[in-house]
Amino acid sequence: MKKTILAIMLSAVMVCSLTACGNTSGDGAGVQEEGGEEQGETQLPAWKEAYKNTLNGILNNEIPLSDGMAATNYSDLGGPAYFALYDFTGNGTPELIVTGSDPHADYIVSEIYMEDGTSYQGFDAFDASENKIYCNKDLETVIYVGADGKLTFSERYNEYGADGWYYSNVETEEDKKISDEEGQAFSDTHKSLRKEFKNCFGFTEMTRENINSMLAN
């Protein structure tokens, strides 16, 4: 009788020990799994990481702001800078627009950054109906068209004072002098688009908090 009771007690102890080991093993696996999740932080998409680096570089005076004519460090602006995101190229990844101008002004000069770091300076007008991007640089206006994940040079207008206007078109392979009337018509269109620029993009003040918020996961 005593032997029977002793055997039952030993069996119960072994069962409890196995159960306890099983639970410990299970808890340990759970902790390891949770720890793995904590260690494997979600990475930002490459374009968000690139734009965060660009914007923080501007705030740190490592990347100057350019209006197509001159470059200015953020600390020399005397006021805030602004940024916006807009998909000009239609590939689902927006481009980054930065400006040191007042985003509510009738004339805004900005710069477009692509994910790979390429920039387009002097961006001051946008024709949304044809997806045309107007950039003033070195006394000429260059027009780009956004499509297929890139900005493609399309047209160029130059005004050379007394020598008049010149026009280039990549698609038609034109490179010619144009009349003053044609040049003035382009200039009027450009000025009209400039005034509408402030209504095209929702600019946000460039602060670290806003950068982290807009470019979060």
Q: What is the DSSP string of 188-207?
A: HHHHHHHHHGGGTS--EE--
Which two three-digit tokens encode residue 105? 């002004």
The predicted pLDDT at position 183 comes to 95
Of 145, 78, 86, 134, residue with least CA distance to 113: 86
Rounded Cα gap, residues 140 and 7, in angstroms: 98
pLDDT > 70 fraction of the chain, expressed in percent and rounded: 81
The predicted pLDDT at position 40 comes to 57
The predicted pLDDT at position 11 comes to 46
Checking 139-148 for CB contacts under 8 A at 24+ apart, the result is 141/186, 141/190, 144/120, 146/88, 146/89, 146/90, 146/95, 147/89, 147/90, 148/89, 148/90, 148/91
pLDDT-derived band at 18 (thresholds 50, 70, 90) equals very low
Residues 6+ apart with CB under 8 A from 138: 68, 69
Which two three-digit tokens encode residue 210? 């806003």
Rounded mean pLDDT, 110-132: 96
pLDDT-derived band at 28 (thresholds 50, 70, 90) equals very low
Three-state SS at 163? helix
pLDDT-derived band at 16 (thresholds 50, 70, 90) equals very low
pLDDT at residue 33 greater than cutoff 90: no
